[in-house]
Amino acid sequence: MEHKQTVTEVKESRLSVKQKVLFGMGDYLNTITYGMISAFLMAFLTDTLLIPMAAVTAIMSLSKLWDAINDPVIGVIIDKSRSPKGVYRPWLIRMMIPFALSNILLWLPIGHWSTSAKITVVSIVYCLYMVWQLYHSEFFTFSLVTASAGVVFFLIARTSYMANRIAGSALLALILIGTALTAFLCAKNHGKLNLGSRMLRLFPDGFNPLLFYFICVLWAVVLAACLLFGSGFAFYAMFAAIAVELIGAVYYTFQLK
């Protein structure tokens, strides 16, 4: 027989005012920062940093495309999380410092830098502002490498200055080498990086580094082709990076347990 709640039971099951206020404040700071970014970031980039409007529009558009993939992936990851401290609390505590840093770095006073350098920095930081919420170390690393490659390909496609192309290519080369080396060292220690006196877990136990080797070699080859064939090839390489990012999002979503 179905139990009907009494008036007393209904009143006792209701949330208190304190609980309602605390629950509502959970997204308070994030809403403030997002409101600042929505209202002032584009003006800051174009009027203060003097980045061309076309470049700012491209950065915003590509990041929103990624956000459309990012949101459902995060939802799946959180729903499948299991922790004695609850479902959401560990992620909120773990990511509050990187999230705060990414917000601060968006407003760096780099107006005196070259246009190419400003576009590169803003693109990477703004993508990280979205990517910090992935909560999956393998997916984060994959996304960081692919997003960095896409930004450098965009830089090569938009600038004709060889010095800027070489600088962006050198930065991407360092990221690719660092990623491959980190994956190799972690694979030897079951996902942990040996820092001398301590072991830092970067990837889950038993992760496969072959995908990272492949993606690093892939973007290294594409980068060499961009420098060889010029801006036309780099333009299409940028869209190839977007496609690979989409494939990676689908792949890692199905890898969740």
Q: What angle do CA 191, 192, 198 make, to 5 degrees?
A: 170
Q: Which residue has the higher pLDDT, 225 or 160?
A: 225
**pTM exceeds 0.75, yes or no:** no
Contacts of 8 (CB under 8 A, 6+ apart): none
Q: Which tens digits make up the pLDDT trace of 100-144?
A: 777 787 888 887 887 777 777 777 777 666 655 454 567 778 877
> Contacts for 18-24 with beta carbons within 8 Å, 24 or more apart?
none
Strands 192-194 and 199-201, sheet pairing: antiparallel
| Alpha-carbon gap, residue 140 to 180, rounded angstroms | 14
Taking residues 150-167, what's their average pLDDT?
A: 80
Give me the amino acid identity at 223: L
Q: Which tens digits make up the pLDDT trace of 48-105?
A: 888 887 778 777 767 666 666 666 666 666 677 677 777 777 777 777 777 777 778 7
Taking residues 211-231, what's their average pLDDT?
A: 91
